[in-house]
A and B are shown apart, each in its own frame.
Chain A
Amino acid sequence: MSGGHDNHGGLNLTLHVWRQKNREAEGHFETYSLHGISEHCSFLEMLDQLNEQLLREGREPVAFDHDCREGICGSCSLVINGQAHGPDRETATCQLHMRRFHDGETIYIEPFRAKAFPIVRDLVCDRSAFDRIIARGGFVSVNTGSPQDANAIPIPKENADLAMDAAACIGCGACVAACPNAAAMLFVGAKISHLSLLPQGQPERRRRVLAMVEQMDKEGFGNCGNIYECEAACPKGISVENIARLNKEYLGASLTARPEKESAGGF
C-alpha cells in the first residue's frame, strides 16, 4: 500500500455495499470499514483492497465488473452514493479516484438497477439486453472482398464528426442506471446516430431503427421523459441530441417504411 506518500495515513472509509447471492435472492447492504486507503488509488483498487480484507477474514469477496480499467471497455458499472459511475462528469468508475472522497466518508455502493439489467450477484448486473438490441441492427452488412479506397465515399465533415461522437459510446449502461425511468434511449440513440449519419448505414437505415426500438421496448426499458440525466452520467459525454435523432429516425421510418417482403400480387 502506498499510504506512506501521504502526510496522513490515508482515508478511513465506511462502505455500505450491496450484497446479493444471485438473481433470485433478496439483496441487502452490508457495512465494512476500510482504513488507510491511499487517495491516489482508483475506486476499483479501493474495492480490490476491500476484497483482500474480506478474503483475509475468510469472507466472500464482493463481485463487481471490470476489464480494461482505462475507461474504454464499458465493463465497469456501480452506482456510488446514488450516482452512476460516481460524482465526476465523463468519468467511468474505473477512472474515478479516491481523492474525490474525504477521510471519514460513508460511501453507498450499488449495482446498476433496471428490470432490463437483472442483478447477477452483488454489484454485477446482466447487460446483455444491450447485446440483443445491437444484434437487431446495430451493424452494417457488407460484402467481403478487397477494401475500396478510403476516400471513395465522400462524407461531410460535420456528419463524420457527429457520427464519431456517437460512436464513442462504450455500451456501459450508465445512461439506463441514471435515468429515473430506466430508459435506454441514449445508448440506442448513439448507435442509431452513428450509423444513420454515415453512407454505409443507409441501406438498412429504416429497418435498423424499427428493429432496435422494438427490441429496446421488449427488454423492458422505461420511456424517455427527456430528463437528460443520462447525458450527465455518460462517461463518454454522449449528447441527448442523439435521442432527438433517434426519435426523428423512428418517426420517419414508421411513417415511410413499406411492408417487408410483400411480393407482387400478394395481398
Chain B
Amino acid sequence: MFSRFGAFLRSSIGKKSLMAVTGLLLILFLIAHVVGNLTLYADSDGAKFNAYAAQLEALGPVKLLAELGLVLLFGVHIALGMRAILENREARPSRYKDLAPKGNRTFASMTMSITGLVVLVFLVIHIIDFRMADFSEQGLAALVVERLSSPVGGAIYFVSMAFLGVHLWHAFQSAIQTLGFRHPSYAPAILVIGRVLAVAIAVLFASFPVLLLATGGQWPWN
C-alpha cells in the first residue's frame, strides 16, 4: 500500500495531482485573504482591519496550525513546481531553433515557471514585510499604508499581483484537468470561472497599492 502510494508520488501524474490539489487550496486561501483585506475599505482609519487582525491573533494555537498548514501547502507546491521545471528542461536537452505556436498555448500557460518563481520571491518579501514585523504600536493597517504607499513598496506589490494574476489565469482549469475532469459541457465554464477568479483576486489585491500610490498614502475617501 505504501509502496504504491510512494510510486504515485514519484510519478509525473502523481506530482502534478499534488500540485493541483495544493494549488486549488492555495486559491481558497487567496480568496479568504483578499476578502479579509477588503475590511480596509470598510472605514477610514483601519480600525475594522485591525480588529480583524486581532481576531485572527486571538485564535492562538489554531492560527499557528493554520499557518503551518499554509507553509505545508506552499512548500509542497513550490518543491514540486521546482522539480517539474528542472525535469521539463531535462526532457528536451537539444533545443529547437524556435518552437513556434501550433495554436493552443497562451501567454499564461507558457510562463507558469516564471510567474511561479516571481510569486515565490514576492512571498519572501511579503512575509518579511508583515509577518516578521512588529506593529504592536502603530497597528497593522498603518503598517500596510506605510509599506504600500512608498513608490518601491507599492510597485513591488502591484507588479507581483500582476504576475500572480497571470499564474492563476492558467492555473484553475489546469488543476481541474490534472485531477482528471474534462467534459465538453463543462470545460468552457471552468475556463471562464478560473479566469474571472484570477482577475478578481489580482485586481482586488492590487487595488490597495494602486490607491495608496495614487493618493500619496491617503485612503481616497479620507
B14 contacts partner chain A, Cβ-Cβ < 8 Å? yes
How does the 8 Å CB contact mask read for A24-53 relative to B, with 1 for contact and 0 for none? Answer: 000101000000000000000000000000
* A122 in contact (CB, < 8 A): no
B102 within 8 A of A: yes
Q: Is B103 in contact with A82, judged by CB distance below 8 angstroms? A: no
Chain A residues, Cβ within 8 Å of B96: 79, 82, 110, 113
Taking residues whose C-beta sits less than 8 angstroms from the other chain, chain A's interface range is 35 or more
Cβ of B136 < 8 Å from any Cβ of A?
no
- Contact of A247 with B178 at beta-carbon distance under 8 Å, contacts A233-B102, A241-B184 already known: yes
Residues of B within 8 A of A249 (CB): 180
Determine if B4 is an interface residue (Cβ-Cβ < 8 Å).
yes
Nearest CB on A from B23, distance (A): 12
Q: Which stretch (A4-12, A148-156, A224-232) binds chain B?
A: A224-232
B101 at the interface (CB under 8 A from A): yes
**B97 touching A29, Cβ below 8 Å:** yes
Cα–Cα, bound, A114→B93 (Å): 7
With a cutoff of 8 Å between Cβ atoms, the chain B residues found around residue A29 in the complex are: 97
Q: Which residue of B lies closest to A29 (CB)?
A: B97
Given the known inter-chain contacts A240-B177, A251-B180, please indicate yes or no for A178 contacting B92, CB distance below 8 A.
Answer: no
Measured as residues with beta carbon below 8 angstroms from the partner, the interface class of chain B is 35 or more
- Which among A54-62, A97-105, A136-144, A210-218 touches the partner chain? A210-218
Closest CB-CB distance, A69 to chain B, in whole Å?
22
Do the beta carbons of A226 and B173 come within 8 Å of each other?
yes
B138 is an interface residue with CB less than 8 A from chain A: no
Instruction: Judge whether A82 and B97 touch: CB under 8 Å.
Output: yes
Contacts of B177 in A (CB 8 A): 226, 240, 243-244, 247
Residue picked from A221, A226, A259, most chain B C-beta under 10 Å = A226
Let me know if A113 and B94 touch, CB within 8 A: yes
Interfacial residues of chain B within 146-198, with CB under 8 A of chain A in the complex = 170, 173-174, 177-184
Please tell me which stretch of B45-53, B60-68, B104-112, B207-215 contacts chain A, meaning at least 4 of its Cβ atoms lie within 8 angstroms of it.
B104-112
Contacts of A250 in B (CB 8 A): 11, 13-14, 180
Q: Which chain A residue lies CB-closest to B97? A: A108
Q: What are the 4 closest A-B residue pairs judged by CB atoms, nearest first?
A: A248-B180, A82-B100, A222-B91, A244-B182
Having A79-B99, A82-B99, one finds 15 other A-B pairs with CB under 8 Å, namely A83-B100, A83-B101, A113-B94, A178-B102, A182-B91, A182-B92, A217-B11, A222-B12, A223-B16, A229-B105, A232-B104, A241-B182, A245-B182, A248-B179, A248-B181
A-B contact pairs, 29 of them (CB 8 A): A82-B99, A83-B101, A114-B92, A115-B93, A116-B91, A181-B88, A213-B12, A214-B7, A217-B10, A220-B91, A222-B88, A222-B92, A223-B12, A223-B84, A224-B13, A225-B112, A225-B174, A226-B177, A227-B106, A233-B102, A244-B177, A244-B180, A246-B13, A247-B17, A247-B177, A250-B13, A251-B180, A254-B5, A257-B4
Using a CB–CB cutoff of 8 Å, the interface residues on chain A facing chain B are: 16, 27, 29, 79, 81-84, 89, 108, 110, 113-116, 119, 178, 180-183, 210, 213-214, 216-217, 220-229, 231-233, 240-241, 243-252, 254, 257, 259
